[in-house]
Amino acid sequence: MKNLLSPSAHLPQSVKLHAVLVIAAACLITFCFPAVAANWSLDQLMSSLAQNKTAKAKFSEIKYLAVLETPVESSGELLYVAPNKLVKRTIKPRPEVMQLDGDTLTLERGKNKFTMQVQEAPELAALIESMRGTLAGDRAALERNFSVAMTGNRERWTLSMKPINTKALQVIRNIEVSGSKGEIQEIEVLQANGDRSITSVEKRP
């Protein structure tokens, strides 16, 4: 099978943005929150995240795009390996693999394979680095790139993140992660152009 390897410069900007947003969202839904205490603080959440090393899950995603009349649905599997590898394998409606390994983002669609370095888009690199900081339990890294607010309680909580970087705000307006107790149930990503995605996740053993 022949693969077409292309640097970021040969990828349409919309593909770059979609790939990075998907990876960033996947990072946040990596279903890796252990049990937490009733009086839950952001610091306790970060401490819990830092304990995670490897996680697997099934996902289902619905994307609402202004250019389409009906939502786009997809489903597949996620794999996270600390400290910086994330794989999103879409099974339906058509096979696709997105992988972030270190600073290299790879997208495989059919016979084509595209790669880019996250540093090629500084505003998006900051977004990815903040996601890594979340998975590593690094609150400082998260707050370098986002205005963070947590509401709710142990039974039902929401973590809301708004980029503080002007360029990042041109891509993404807000990320909301919601869950119950020690599990993430849903993440919503709202893009600056009004498009949004809602992803549900089910942890696998």
- On the CB side of 155, CA atoms within 13 Å amount to 0
User: Over the chain (205 residues), what is each successive 10-residue block's mean pLDDT?
Assistant: 44 58 56 52 76 81 94 92 84 92 88 86 66 71 83 78 85 82 77 91 76
The model carries a pTM of: 0.75
Amino acid identity, position 139: R
Element (H, E) at 129: helix 122-135
Amino acid identity, position 20: V
Report yes or no: 121 and 15 within 8 Å, Cβ to Cβ: no
Report yes or no: 18 and 26 within 8 Å, Cβ to Cβ: no
Which one, of 162, 154, 161, 160, lies nearest residue 183 by Cα? 154
What integer pLDDT is reported at residue 76 of this predicted model?
Answer: 95
Architecture of domain 4-204: Clam (2.50)
Q: DSSP state, 160?
A: E
What integer pLDDT is reported at residue 72 of this predicted model?
Answer: 95
Cα separation of 76 and 87, whole Å? Answer: 11
